[in-house]
Amino acid sequence: MKDLNQQLSEIKVVPVIAIKDASKAVKLAQVLIENGLPCAEVTFRTEEASLAIKNIREAYPEMLIGAGTVLTSAQVDEAIDAGVDFIVSPGFNPTTVKYCQQRNVTIVPGVNTPSLVEQAMEMGLSTLKFFPAEPSGGVSMLKALTAVYPVKFMPTGGVSPSNVKDYLSIPSVLACGGTWMVPGDLIDNEQWDYLAKLVREVARIIE
């Protein structure tokens, strides 16, 4: 079985989703899979997140599913119970990291400075989220970090069609997280054809 890093490096772009209605999650997952992005990071910014994850997992057992914006141990439990493959947090919280390690689930915490990278490495982590990517210095800052530290990164925050290839060209970048192909209003309004078009465009960019 492929490890998380292998899967992320093959997918290249992880759709970051805030879904308000879990009943729409399966259709959204179908759109992602059929149009070239068989992955989702479902953020805990909505009350329906864990149910959405559960629905996707039951419908598509093979899909790579992460839980994003995880801030507490309780949310870690909720995400694991729903069936996630990995956890993503916006910042580096040692308590949350330790709890994920105790629960034997991979966490990709957010960092944007050398000091945070070193703290994460001290806890045995080697795959980190560079967040918020663009406000933190973008490609140039990430290149500076990757020149020093032997870790892999998943930049998220301000990644777009205009710069995603620049990030992916950095050897230490496994994949980028992005929201532009899964805007909440299109999900709310069930505009599946337009969402499919946006996803296909991403798939073409990263070919």
DSSP 39-102: EEEEETTSTTHHHHHHHHHHH-TTSEEEEES--SHHHHHHHHHHT-SEEEESS--HHHHHHHHH
Write down the catalytic residue from 12, 24, 129, 152: 129
CB half-sphere exposure, 28, CA atoms < 13 A: 31
Give the whole-angstrom CA distance, residue 14 versus residue 67: 12
Structure tokens at 169: 């060209």
Instruction: Give the Å distances, CA to CA, from 18 to 21, 99, 175, 182.
Output: 9, 24, 19, 9
H or E segment to which residue 177 belongs: strand 176-178
42 and 64 Cβ atoms separated by less than 8 Å: no
Pick from 135, 144, 154: nearest CA to 11: 154
Write down the catalytic residue from 41, 48, 78, 134: 41
Q: Verify whether residue 129 is a known catalytic residue.
A: yes
Q: Verify whether residue 134 is a known catalytic residue.
A: no
Residue 7's identity, in one-letter code, is Q
Question: Which residues are known catalytic residues?
Answer: 41, 129
